Each structure stands twice: as structure tokens, then as C-alpha cells.
């Protein structure tokens, strides 16, 4: 009898190990490892022996999306600063998981950033960007539908490189991602990381794709309102942190709702 048990253990041990590895795989963190460089002249692969005709890229078109060319001018004398950029002709939905969305404000005639973009007020930046002063390119990079993408370079007024950043569709290149599946198609968690610190919007998702938890990090600390949700998308709880990442104030449970969306707790009323 012991001999049969020994044989069975040998046969099934690899299956147990594989199952354990499969479970562990979904708990691993990965960096956003999609290619970081952006090719504004998308190339096609051709069969061997077929010569490729040089295509002329359509004017003001990047990644197949039509744009308009724009610029801003500010300052006086030697301090005049020019910003050269492109913005979308037609409005497109923004990615609400990205904290910093860049857009051109029609009325103010300036570039703004934030998650308060309204298509009626301006247009998302898309394509190459340059900030120039005294013929020196201070900042340069590429936007993709309002998000920083690829390598961004920053120079001082003496044309000395002072910083370089890498992004993938708005996320800092160091950001970490966890998936539900081995194929990495169903995102489970994304942790925004910049210069080694947690910085930006954090998200945790249910297996059905809906948001489970969302909040913001600044300087490695949780700030503002962190919201939890039910799998149906209904809000469950808001935990309020200080807006100052260096504050010693303790977080409080601000509000809670039941599964039907009815509020069952309100911190402001409880204090009365």
C-alpha cells in the first residue's frame, strides 16, 4: 500500500507544483514592459524580397489620428518662452485612471494638466511637444491622446540635460502591475511609481474589470479620499486622508454605503 502511495506522489507532484506556480503567477508584480519608444511613422512588415515604397506621412497625423498644430507664447525679452505642440481635431474619451491629462485651453490659450478636462473647453495634446527659450529646447517629448508617452528630456537654460523621464501611456515607466491571468490581459492592481516612490493614482480591480479601490499617492503616502466599491460598481466606503502627505493626521472613515447604494454612515453627522 505504501508503495502505491509513493508512486502516486511522484506522478502527481509536478501537477501540484504547477498549480502552485499558476496561483503565484497572478500575485506577481510586473513593470509596464510595453515598448517605451514611440514610432510616429508606423512601419509594416513586408515579405522577403519585396521592396518597401517610402511612404509620406500625412501632415499633422500621428498614430493615424489627425491633429492641429498649435503654439503658446509667454514672457518678455530674453525670457520669451514658446511651446510648440499638436492637439486633436476631434474629441476622444480620456483615460480616467491617469492623473495628469494634458490639454490645450482654448480660452486661456495655455496648456493645462489635470483630470478636470472638458472637451468643450479645449483639446487633448497628441504628438510631438517642445518648450523653447532663446533657441534652446528646454522640454521635449511626445503626447498620446493627452498622456505623456515615451522618453521626455529636460534641459536647463545652458542646454545641459538635467532630467530624463520615461512613460507608457501616462504611467511612469517604473509603475508596477499585477494581473489576474498568466497572459496579463486582466489587470488586477496598478501601483504608480515615480523615482522609486509611490506617486499618482492607485487602482485595484475586481475580476469583472470594475474598480474595487482607487486613491492617490503623493511622496509615497496616501492622500485625499480613498474609495472602495462593491463588485457591482456601487460605492462602499470613503476613507479620508490628509491632503498633505507629510501630515501626522490619522485617516477617518468618512462615509459608508450598503450594497443598494444607501448611505449608512456619515462622519460629519456622527460628530454632531
Long-range contacts of residues 189-194, Cβ cutoff 8 Å, at least 24 apart:
190/97, 191/29, 192/99, 192/217
How far is residue 23's CA from residue 56's CA, in Å, rounded to a whole number? 49
- Do the Cβ atoms of 178 and 185 come closer than 8 Å? no
Amino acid 7: pLDDT: 44
Three cell numbers written together for 213? 479601490
Amino acid 27: pLDDT: 65
What string of pLDDT tens digits covers the 272 residues of the chain? 555 444 444 444 444 433 344 445 556 666 665 443 444 444 334 344 445 555 666 788 998 899 999 999 998 888 899 999 999 999 888 877 787 899 999 999 999 997 678 889 999 999 999 999 999 999 999 999 999 998 999 999 999 999 888 888 888 888 888 889 888 888 899 898 888 899 888 999 999 988 999 999 999 999 999 999 999 999 999 999 999 999 999 999 999 999 999 999 999 887 76
How far is residue 84's CA from residue 73's CA, in Å, rounded to a whole number? 9
Domain locations in the chain?
Answer: 59-173, 174-272
- Which 3 state secondary structure label does DSSP give 117? coil
Three cell numbers written together for 75? 514672457
Amino acid 50: pLDDT: 44
Q: Return the CATH number of 174-272, one of 2.130.10.30, 1.10.10.10, 3.90.930.1, 3.40.50.970.
A: 3.90.930.1
Identify the DSSP state of 196. Answer: T
pTM (two decimals): 0.64
Amino acid 32: pLDDT: 60
How far is residue 67's CA from residue 42's CA, in Å, rounded to a whole number? 16
Amino acid at each position: 500500500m505504501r508503495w502505491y502511495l509513493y508512486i502516486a506522489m511522484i506522478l502527481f507532484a509536478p501537477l501540484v507544483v504547477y498549480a502552485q506556480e499558476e496561483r503565484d503567477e497572478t500575485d506577481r508584480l510586473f513593470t509596464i514592459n510595453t515598448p517605451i519608444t514611440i514610432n510616429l511613422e508606423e512601419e509594416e512588415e513586408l515579405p522577403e524580397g519585396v521592396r518597401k515604397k517610402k511612404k509620406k506621412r500625412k501632415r499633422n497625423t500621428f498614430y493615424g489620428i489627425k491633429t492641429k498644430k498649435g503654439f503658446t507664447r509667454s514672457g518678455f525679452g530674453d525670457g520669451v518662452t514658446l511651446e510648440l505642440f499638436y492637439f486633436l481635431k476631434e474629441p476622444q474619451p480620456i483615460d480616467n485612471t491617469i492623473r495628469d491629462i494634458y490639454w490645450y485651453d482654448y480660452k486661456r490659450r495655455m496648456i493645462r494638466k489635470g483630470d478636470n478636462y472638458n472637451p468643450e473647453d479645449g483639446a487633448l495634446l497628441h504628438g510631438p511637444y517642445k518648450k523653447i527659450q532663446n533657441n534652446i529646447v528646454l522640454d521635449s517629448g511626445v503626447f498620446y491622446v493627452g498622456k505623456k508617452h515615451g522618453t521626455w528630456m529636460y534641459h536647463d537654460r545652458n542646454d545641459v540635460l538635467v532630467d530624463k523621464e520615461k512613460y507608457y501611456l501616462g504611467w511612469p515607466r517604473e509603475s508596477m502591475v499585477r494581473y489576474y491571468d498568466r497572459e496579463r490581459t486582466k489587470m488586477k492592481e496598478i501601483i504608480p511609481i515615480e523615482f522609486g516612490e509611490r506617486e499618482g493614482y492607485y487602482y485595484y480591480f475586481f475580476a469583472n474589470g470594475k474598480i474595487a479601490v482607487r486613491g492617490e499617492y503623493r511622496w509615497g503616502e496616501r492622500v485625499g479620499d480613498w474609495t472602495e466599491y462593491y463588485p457591482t460598481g456601487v460605492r462602499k466606503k470613503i476613507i479620508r486622508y490628509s491632503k498633505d502627505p507629510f501630515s501626522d493626521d490619522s485617516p477617518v472613515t468618512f462615509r459608508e454605503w450598503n450594497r443598494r447604494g444607501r448611505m449608512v454612515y456619515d462622519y460629519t453627522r456622527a460628530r454632531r
